[in-house]
Chain A
Amino acid sequence: MTYIHKIDSDRCKGCGLCVTICPKHVLEISEKVNTKGYFPAFQARPEDCIKCALCCSMCPDVAITITGAEDADQTQQAASTEDNDG
């Protein structure tokens, strides 16, 4: 079982609560704006992520999700459709 941590950059309002709560300092605020004109959060150091879901629980806009994939193929597929850079 692998886990995919994904930020929906169009839902994100860039409040930064997830950035401060992340114990591994994975997240940062992007320099690009999203469709609503906010600067969304993105995974600056995704390899450090331990999938603790603290950011998900703190996010007021339910923009962050963690989905489980059974095998590596699904992980690859999901990762390729993912939009991390905001």
Chain B
Amino acid sequence: MGKTFAKPEALSDQITHYCPGCTHGVIHRLVAEVIDELDIRGRTVGVAPVGCAVLMYNYFTFDFLESAHGRAPAQATGMKRVRPDLVVFTYQGDGDLASIGMSEIVHAANRGEKITTIFVNNAVYGMTGGQMAPTTMPNQRTTTSPFGRNVDEVGMPIKVSELLASLQTTAYIARQTVILPKHITRAKKAIKKAFQYQIDGRCFSFVEIVSTCPTNWGLTPVEAVKWAEEKMLPYYPLGEIKTPQ
């Protein structure tokens, strides 16, 4: 009994700059594995966000563009419309996508652009030092909500997947997480499906991944996994939220 396991070809040898225990690394690997399995490395272009993943183009062995804060779906739209044969995906965090880039993602989804978006939701702004994001949990302490998120003042966390699913345009929208191996398997399936829908030219595809940020949550990586399981998963239920008819 046993199985082999190696780094996918689409992932470069460079060591990531992410903090210990950051699940960005797992999501990068899943994206790379899916690209290898679908054999699309030669025609894939990624769009890197502003946020912790801003340097992600160093970690993959295919083309990447860096976009202005939140504008990744707009850039991806342009590329996909000029070169429909390309496989274009954006990889965005919650500060990038759900805050400054909210209009870009909503309109890209509403236009039904044939692109894929990987949305990493870790309930906090990571790179800038742990400020409150639109997805921060109620009563969660961050550097800009030191007494916990006050929902009377700033409202409840935005469920981006449900928000996009409410649009009438056809789309594939799923939410998964990568905090335990069983979740990782399901997340990979969702990412693969999302890319497949794009390759088939069917619809806009969006995968939200509930992630951890041990550094800015002030927890160890192992505690952060527990926190995400107890506090985030009940509010952000996993599964396919919308599938094309």
Task: List A residues at the B interface (Cβ < 8 Å).
Answer: 3, 10-11, 13-17, 20-21, 36, 38, 50-54, 56-62, 64-68
Contacts and interface: CB of A to CB of B under 8 A. Distances in A.
Contact of A15 (B1, B184, B221): B221
Q: Chain B interface mostly helix, strand, loop or mixed?
A: loop
Interface in B202-223: 214, 220-222
Contact of A53 (B5, B7, B24, B180): B5
Given A14-B20, A17-B221, A20-B222, A66 B2 contact: yes
Interface in B2-50: 2-7, 11, 15-16, 18-26, 29
Interface residues of B, number: 29
B20 A13 contact: yes
Contacts, number: 79
Contacts of B29: 62
A57 B5 contact: yes
B181 interface: yes
Contact of B6 (A38, A58, A67): A67
Contact of A57 (B2, B15, B181): B181
Q: Chain A interface mostly helix, strand, loop or mixed?
A: loop
B225 interface: yes
B59 to A, nearest CB: 10
B222 A16 contact: yes
Contacts of A67: 4, 6
24 contacts: A3-B3, A3-B4, A10-B15, A13-B20, A14-B20, A15-B21, A20-B222, A36-B15, A50-B2, A52-B3, A53-B2, A56-B5, A58-B181, A59-B25, A60-B16, A60-B23, A60-B24, A60-B26, A61-B16, A61-B18, A62-B11, A62-B29, A65-B4, A66-B3
